[in-house]
Amino acid sequence: MATLLRIDASAQLDDRSLTRKLTGLFMDEFLKAAPGTETIVRDIGHSPVPPIDHRFIHAAFTPPEVREDWMHERLILSDQLVDEVETADILVLGVPMYNYGMPAALKGWVDHIARIGRTFSFDLSRGDFPIEPILSGKKLVVLSSRGEFGFQAGGVRSHMNALDPAIAACAHYFGVAASDIQTVTIEYQEFKDARHQESAAIAEIKTREIALQLASSQPEGVAFGSLPAVA
């Protein structure tokens, strides 16, 4: 049976957040189709993890067998966050675009997940690419929202998109290959016009489709039939 890790990075309250609405929808659909799924919820938008500091770095880069007590203590939260990722088969990430990149809350979480000896190894004998991921085989669903539009490849703001490439660049720390990332995006939120309504409606359909597709590919998942195709 699969384990689903839901991560919400929006600072907004549930009823004002489009990404929280999408992650909620994803969870509901997935659990309807695969009721026995284990779930883990990590709300970094409302309960951000503290930024890493010199003590964290010192502790993380000290081999576990020679760590002092304060180092173990400093890494407790990070270890817990990595445990959650390790346990999960599917990560569902609700992530707004903030100032063209990821919310600080999400960056803080990534900084706690990227851990030598736990999520990556480092070996200069590998030449120019000394980092190798330790985790593998997980899937990532990114449910995002933006106030503007055109951030996709070839779009009018593609050169300003510091969010999607950053998530893809870090995904190996979560055990996710680039080909195992599916992204759904609401656009035009700040315009509040028909384009936004359409974008949000399509995003909901896509979110349902991905939830069903992933749930039915789980060993004990039960697919409830297919949804209407996106117009």
Ligand X SMILES: Cc1cc2nc3c(=O)[nH]c(=O)nc-3n(C[C@H](O)[C@H](O)[C@H](O)COP(=O)(O)O)c2cc1C
Annotated binding site: 10
Residue 175 binds to ligand X (criterion: CB under 6 A): no
Q: Does 18 bind ligand X (CB under 6 A)?
A: yes
**Contact call for residue 98 and ligand X (CB under 6 A):** yes
Asked if 89 interacts with ligand X (CB under 6 A), we say no
Q: Which residues contact 84 (CB under 8 A, 6 or more apart)?
A: 5, 40, 42
Amino acid in position 188: Y
Count residues binding ligand X (CB under 6 A). 16
- Measured between alpha carbons, how far is 84 from 92 in angstroms, rounded to an integer? 12
The residue among 47 and 99 lying less far from ligand X, judged by its C-beta, is: 99
Question: Is there a contact between 167 and 127 (Cβ–Cβ < 8 Å)?
Answer: no
List the structure tokens of 184.
């759904």
Regarding 100 and contact with ligand X (CB under 6 A), the answer is yes
d(CA 217, CA 214): 5
Annotated binding-site residues for FMN read 10
Q: Which of 82, 97, 135, 167 binds ligand X (CB under 6 A)?
A: 97
CB of 82 to ligand X, least distance (A): 25
User: What does residue 128 show for φ and ψ, rounded to 5 degrees?
Assistant: -75, -10
**Site residues (CB under 6 A) for ligand X?**
10, 12, 17-20, 96-100, 145-148, 189
